[in-house]
């Protein structure tokens, strides 16, 4: 599978990846760069990690730049998309992997924490999606991130799952609003995946339980998820549209 084919303008394809300094977003940036796309690695606060990623991509012969932004700030994100267009000539793929997860029972979750989480996960997805569909070239793809926990309904995930349910709703509606634009809009909903986000929010006991949930009896890896993203971003994946892809090893 290859996604290096030029777009209609004859230029190399270009991807903007939020949450690109860590976890799944970081692996997506590396994967798409390896497939021949020029990438914009968008980060919130971890400049060193984003810089390291760009350095490694360039050393491997790829094209990459960093951009710092708050995904929920419309001015920040407009500036990121401006930078992508000015540097690489346009935008063909947007992967919105930025997210925040705080686990608590509903009864005990601090409402300030809830608001902060929903600002990143809901408003952030809305802002990034809004910029994406205004800027993406024909043949392009927008890929947002939900979570399989929306269906799995694990205890202590109520605030987080609520935000991801909102992501799924807005993204599927947006796919239908793109009629006639030749732009696909999909959601990837990973199951428990071995990233810092998961490890930082779970006990060893809980991680063991999560790993046992899928029939494949393991946690997902960032590489498992990036393979799905790369397919959705490719020309080969362009017939998949308006879908929630639950990449979770068969957990129900």
User: What integer is the mean pLDDT of 202-223?
Assistant: 83
Q: Is residue 72 part of a domain?
A: yes
Q: What is the pTM for the complete model shown?
A: 0.92
Q: Is residue 6 part of a domain?
A: no
**Would you call 25 helix, strand, or coil by DSSP?**
helix
Beta pairing, strands 141-145 & 93-96: parallel
Q: What's the pLDDT at 227? A: 96
Q: Is residue 246 part of a domain?
A: no
Q: Is residue 149 part of a domain?
A: yes
- Domain interval for residue 197: 14-241
CA-CA distances (angstroms) from residue 112 to 78, 102, 108, 109, 123?
Answer: 27, 11, 12, 9, 15
What burial letters (b/e) apply to 72-103, b meaning 16+ CB within 10 Å? beeebbbebbebbeeebebbbbbbbbbbbbeb
d(CA 85, CA 76): 15
**How many structural domains is the chain composed of?**
1
Q: Is residue 121 part of a domain?
A: yes
- Indicate which CATH number applies to the domain containing 212: 3.40.50.720
Q: Do residues 96 and 129 make contact, with C-beta atoms less than 8 angstroms apart?
A: yes
Which among 69, 224, 84, 225 is positioned nearest to 143, based on CA atoms? 225
Q: Is residue 1 part of a domain?
A: no
Q: Is residue 222 part of a domain?
A: yes
Q: What's the pLDDT at 1? A: 28
Which among 191, 189, 195, 219 is positioned nearest to 207, based on CA atoms? 219
Q: Is residue 3 part of a domain?
A: no
User: Tens digit of pLDDT for each residue in 29-75?
Assistant: 999 999 999 999 999 989 999 999 999 999 999 999 999 999 999 99
**Nearby residues of 94 by Cβ (< 8 Å), 6 or more positions away:** 15, 16, 17, 128, 129, 131, 132, 136, 140, 141, 142, 143
Q: Which residues are catalytic?
A: 160
């Amino acid at each position: 599978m290859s996604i290096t084919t030029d777009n209609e303008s004859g230029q190399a394809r270009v991807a903007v990846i939020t949450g690109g300094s860590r976890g799944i977003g970081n692996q997506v940036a590396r994967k798409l760069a390896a497939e021949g796309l020029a990438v914009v690695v968008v980060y919130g606060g971890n400049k060193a990690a984003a810089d390291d990623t760009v350095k490694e991509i360039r050393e491997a012969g790829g094209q990459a730049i960093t951009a710092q932004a708050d995904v929920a700030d419309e001015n920040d994100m407009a500036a990121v998309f401006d930078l992508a267009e000015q540097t690489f000539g346009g935008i063909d793929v947007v992967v919105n992997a930025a997210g925040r997860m705080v686990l608590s029972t509903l009864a005990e979750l601090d409402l300030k924490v809830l608001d902060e989480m929903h600002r990143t996960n809901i408003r952030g997805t809305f802002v990034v999606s809004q910029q994406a569909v205004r800027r993406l070239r024909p043949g392009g793809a927008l890929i947002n991130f939900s979570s399989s926990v929306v269906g799995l309904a694990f205890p202590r995930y109520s605030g987080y799952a609520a935000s991801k349910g909102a992501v799924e709703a807005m993204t599927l509606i947006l796919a239908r609003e793109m009629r006639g634009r030749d732009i696909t809009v999909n959601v990837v909903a990973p199951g428990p995946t071995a990233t810092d986000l998961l490890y930082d929010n779970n006990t060893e006991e809980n991680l063991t339980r999560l790993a046992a949930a899928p029939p494949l009896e393991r946690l997902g890896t960032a590489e498992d998820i990036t393979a799905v993203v790369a397919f959705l971003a490719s020309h080969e994946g362009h017939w998949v549209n308006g879908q929630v892809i639950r990449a979770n090893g068969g957990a129900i």
